[in-house]
Amino acid sequence: MKRFEDRVAVITGGASGLGRALGERFGAAGVKVVLADINEQMLAETAETLRARGVTLATRRTDVAKGEDVERLADFALETFGAVHIVCNNAGVAPLGVLWEADESDWRWALGVNVWGVIYGVRVFTPILLGQGDEGHIVNTASVAGLISPPGMGIYSVTKHAVVALTETLHHDLAAKTDKVKCSVVCPAYFPSNIAYSERNRPAELRSERPKSEEDIARELQLFKAVKSGRLSAYDVADAAFAAVRDERFYVLTHPRILPAVESRAREILEGRNPASPLRQGPPE
């Protein structure tokens, strides 16, 4: 996609972190932005800030785990701006813990937002992009946890591996259909965002009743520290995603230091070796 002026982008998880940065980056290029998020207060605060920076935007409270909400989001975008050209399925949550201790509610929450949110985004918006007969691009936010499997992050990794697989297949399906609509998958490592605070938006009916262990608390503190100390910012990741849309590049791997772990996993598979922890040299920065 070479022209961005007066295009329209829909961005989920748009109230903070990468979603907010994507909104600002695309908006700076002249794209009209629809920001969607489940947190209405943060969404309103972000919208006020971005409008003050010259971004043309609209907002819509959306729970991406509900298909009807995503359908209403698409209707809202079309009613507001008349078209949709870029879709960023970005909303995400990050429950932690060893797999056998996870509640069913942990799985339902993460699968609902991280996987079904992307499924609904693709199912609802792809026909719109194809039907317009114009350039379009879908950006799905995964993670390096979609390429490796760190300990203590099993639920998150399952969801992000699903997003990578879904987007790779989407790439092939689109290529067989059109040369105008493309897609990308974003796989960052740690960067300052609100993913470590995603519990604040967890629906009451999906709250976990399991008391946190000392390991749980230590793991959460490690995540907070890793996210806060990430060397790249959300705006760096947003710049990389924007460049991928512009250059029609599929894989967006923003943290080169994680690539040896990705390569090691591939070699372990090909050589039939047991997997080593991708964090054996510390968390990626």
Residue 260 makes CB contacts below 8 A (sequence gap 6+) with none
Which amino acid is it at 177? K
**Can you tell me the distance from the alpha carbon of 191 to that of 111, in angstroms, rounded to the nearest whole number?**
22
Structure tokens at 269: 């598979």
Q: CA dist 107 to 100, 104, 190, Å?
A: 11, 5, 22
Write the DSSP string, 135-204: -EEEEEE--GGGTS--TTBHHHHHHHHHHHHHHHHHHHHHHTT-SSEEEEEE-----SSSGGGGGGG--G
**Among the residues of 29-147, which ranges form H helices?**
40-52, 67-81, 104-110, 117-132
Residue found by looking up tokens 């207060």 in the block: 41
Q: What length does the chain have?
A: 285
Structure tokens at 42: 């943060």
Among 189, 57, 71, 174, CA closest to 119: 71
Catalytic (active site) residue 235: no
**Can you tell me the distance from the alpha carbon of 285 to that of 234, in angstroms, rounded to the nearest whole number?**
13
Torsion of CA 189, 49, 88, 136, to 10 degrees: -130
Strand, coil or helix: 205: helix
Q: One of 156, 190, 197, 251 is an active-site residue; which one?
A: 156
- Residues labelled catalytic: 156
